[in-house]
Amino acid sequence: MLLVAINGSPRKDGNTAHVLKAVLEEAGTLGVQTAFIQASDGIKAAKIPYCAHCSTPCKGVCYEDTALAVMLDLLREADGVIIGSPVYFGTVAAPLKAFWDKTRRLRKEFALLNVVGGAVAVGGSRFGGQETTIRTLHDMMLTQGMTLIGDGHMSGDAGHSGACAQQPAKDDPQVGHRARLLVHRVVEVAGATAELRKASRAAAQG
């Protein structure tokens, strides 16, 4: 099983990265293979730093032979994806939106269909727009046909919609607990839906 964390913050070692690394660390204890994507690095590598809808279907010409192409190949293999973003004006950070727009080709391939998705948001205050940001993350993942994880794990509550944190995340006493619950739920559902992904990827290739 492969779990990929996507850091949507322009800060590589900021609050969002801190939470996502806690997620991956916990996943490692479950025997899950993990990978970390820095969305802003992928966007910087692309020939055009945002989607210009230059072809339909998308041919991916703007990121051929770049770090972004490598990142998207990684997503093609993912069983679970946890996306994190800081709250910027009540929604996701710009690098993340630009990165996700570049996944148009994956949508045509059904590459993320039935992949299990979880969301993490970090705000400047306890009630700083985290849930509206997570709602946007969910909308982004739903457009790819992903299976979303929210509340309901048998051992606790990661959050009604996802894991929310307050900066500085390293000092938020709830972060570690909520991150662990979220990743356990993603891994649990990813294991239960493995055959769905296998079937949908085989159908897309055939």
- Residue 151, pLDDT above cutoff 70: no
90 CB-near residues (< 8 Å, 6+ apart)? 129, 132, 133
User: Using one digit for the tens of pLDDT, what is the confidence trace for 72-121?
Assistant: 999 999 999 999 999 999 999 999 999 999 999 999 999 999 999 999 99
Amino acid 14: pLDDT: 95
Amino acid 152: pLDDT: 58
Amino acid 153: pLDDT: 58
User: Using one digit for the tens of pLDDT, what is the confidence trace for 119-146?
Assistant: 999 987 788 789 999 999 999 999 999 9
Which band of pLDDT confidence, cut at 50, 70 and 90, is reported for residue 154?
low
Domain 2-205, classified CATH 3.20.20.140, yes or no: no
Indicate the average pLDDT of the chain. Answer: 90
Cα–Cα distance measured from residue 193 to residue 100, given in angstroms and rounded to the nearest whole number? 23
CA 198 → CA 49, 108, 168, distances in Å?
32, 17, 40
- Residue 159, pLDDT above cutoff 70: no
